[in-house]
A and B are shown apart, each in its own frame.
Chain A
Amino acid sequence: AQKITQTQPGMFVQEKEAVTLDCTYDTSDQSYGLFWYKQPSSGEMIFLIYQGSYDEQNATEGRYSLNFQKARKSANLVISASQLGDSAMYFCAMRLSGGYNKLIFGAGTRLAVHP
């Protein structure tokens, strides 16, 4: 079954420190994409980073990087130099090649950044 698992319901980090949010996925497809979205309390989903299953390099976008370990089926999000504005829900999602634009989401991790 196609599934995304985020095992950390909540995390906290001190401002300016790095934090890793875990994500594991389950699919038998060879072609898929992995995404991370941020959802502040306002509700809007903000795209952070994308990793394709055939990408050999880990994706990076500013302070965000994706630690992609294909054999372990994990796609952890690393946020460096955390800021107070990073406090939000974070969702890992997967898109399968045959699923058009359908995203399968994990349950999310609530991140709190402390000053």
Chain B
Amino acid sequence: KAGVTQTPRYLIKTRGQQVTLSCSPISGHRSVSWYQQTPGQGLQFLFEYFSETQRNKGNFPGRFSGRQFSNSRSEMNVSTLELGDSALYLCASRRGGETQYFGPGTRLLVL
């Protein structure tokens, strides 16, 4: 069974640009969550989608947005990139039970 996949794995952008990251959950998983990991702030929850609806959101500015498609794939978008947005962005999926399974992450570098 394939795990959570995230594309792209690495990305370099410049300040002011926007970026879209993609996450494909494990087959059958309908819940997708996104996390940002930085050396300074650690792992922080961005948002969660279930059946195409955002049902929880972390404390991030409106520049961070996301969506989920009918096949449960999810995208997150960051507009007007800032240097501080450089991070590892992790996606996790869950079907039922307690365990969330994470993807390999997308490393974003903003120059």
Contact = CB atoms under 8 A, between A and B. Distances in A.
Interface of A: 33, 35, 37, 42-47, 50, 52, 91, 93, 95, 99-108
Residue picked from B35, B50, B92, B102, most chain A C-beta under 10 Å: B102
A94 to B, nearest CB: 11
Interface of A is mostly: strand
A42 B90 CA distance: 12
Given A100-B48, A101-B94, A45 B102 contact: yes
B98 A45 contact: no
Given A43-B104, A44-B103, A100-B56, 6 more contacts: A37-B102, A42-B104, A52-B98, A100-B48, A101-B33, A101-B94
Contact of A105 (B31, B42, B101, B103): B42
Contacts of B21: none
The bracket for how many chain B residues form the interface is 20 to 34
A43 B88 CA distance: 8
Interface string B86-111: 00101010100011111111010000
Nearest to B104: A44
A102 B102 contact: no
Contact of A44 (B50, B55, B94, B105): B105
Nearest to A45: B102
A37 B33 CA distance: 16
A102 B42 contact: no
Contacts of B11: none
Contacts of B48: 100-102
Contacts of A99: 56
A101 B92 contact: yes
Contacts of A42: 104
A112 B45 CA distance: 27
